[in-house]
Amino acid sequence: MAKRSVALNMADLAERAGVSIATVSRALSGAPGVSEDTRRKIRSLADDLSYAVSPDAARLARGSSGRVAVVTPDVSHWFYASMLDGIVTGLRGTDLDVLLYEVKQERERRRFFVELPARRQVDALILVALPISDEERRRLDLMGVTVVMAGGTLGDHPHVRIDDVDAGRQATAQLVRAGHHRIAMINSSGTWSLEYAAPSARLRGFTTVLEEAGLEVRPEYVVHRHWGSHGGVEGMSELLSLAEPPTAVVAFSDEVAFGALRTLRRAGVAVPHTISIVGIDDHDLADMFDLTTVRQPVTQQGLVAGQLVRQILQQGELSSSHVTLPTEVVVRGTIGPPA
């Protein structure tokens, strides 16, 4: 006799078997806590009724949701998109589903952490270069799930990042070696009320190299603007307005450098003959702008973050939970000796 195709849910099957829904779930998923006689009875009934256990039900019975939440301030920006690409690659080949949360605005970030109890149906949480308050960190700890930071650090939680102090050092040292004494920095601030760690770290690398070289760190040579090309436009305009403009500039990021280069071009200032400039990132467009920069492996950071989650969920332990990836200088055409 052909099996009947009946639309059932787990509650229907539990009623027909005379057991609880939890017992049905454990029996069909192979979880412990069910006698062999009961397991055979439930499976036989499910087979007769052509009942197929859903993946979600099986995961819940194993105490696993099979989901990883990724929280990012932006999904369209080059940095975050590259990071997401690496995370997805790192999780590829698993049966984990990725849930993406974009918290572009301050209120969206606060709302996410207020609603954290509703996010508990995930096995892991990956934060992408997201500033976190002490209160939000405590809420994360109460979730009881794996938390990994990609592109930064978060207490003792696993993380993958670059050394931003060293990135600032590498960019500045390149200009010092070229013979520059009047070196400025266009640093960045984010859109959050919370402070990003990278700007202060890269500024520390910048000032350390100047001090080691016996050069003055002039306050007017350090300007802070919003992260992005518009910040670079404004920052370079301010530096050019000084009575004694710098001969070289370290930009917080390549996008800041792109904006600075636009200002220099429109002002008729030759690069690198009058002003040299170095960025940090090695953005996809850096080669097109012929920009000397400090390359950071953005996609690789996401890849390692995904692999960290994968190892924790599959093996329960990590060989290394704090990973720092190297940066390197990529010399192109925006740096030269001072005029």
Question: Domain 10-61 is in which class?
Answer: mainly alpha
Q: In degrees, to the nearest 5, what angle opens at C-alpha 331 toward C-alphas 325 and 332?
A: 130
Average pLDDT over residues 190-209: 87
Average pLDDT over residues 148-171: 95
Encoding tokens for residue 293?
Answer: 């920069």
Which residue type, as a one-letter code, is found at position 232? Answer: G
> pTM for the whole thing?
0.78
Contact 279, 254 (CB under 8 A): yes
Report the length, in residues, of the chain.
Answer: 339
Phi-psi region of 151 (alpha: psi -120 to 50; beta: other; left: phi over 0): left
CATH architecture of 164-296: 3-Layer(aba) Sandwich (3.40)
Which of 188, 164, 332, 336 has its CA nearest to residue 248?
A: 336
CA 243 to CA 251: how far, in whole Å? Answer: 21
Domain boundaries, the chain: 10-61, 67-162+298-325, 164-296
Alpha carbons within 13 angstroms on the beta-carbon side of residue 198 total: 20
- CA 147 to chain centroid, in Å, comes to 12
Matching fold, domains 10-61 and 164-296: no
The strand pair at 292-295 and 322-325 is best described as unpaired
Average pLDDT over residues 219-246: 96
Which sign, positive or negative, has the C-alpha torsion 311, 315, 321, 326? Answer: negative
Highest mean pLDDT among 29-33, 193-197, 244-248: 244-248
Encoding tokens for residue 190?
Answer: 């984010």
- Please say if the pLDDT value at position 144 is more than 90: no
- Which percentage of the chain shows pLDDT scores above 70? 88
Report the CATH fold assignment for 67-162+298-325. Rossmann fold (3.40.50)
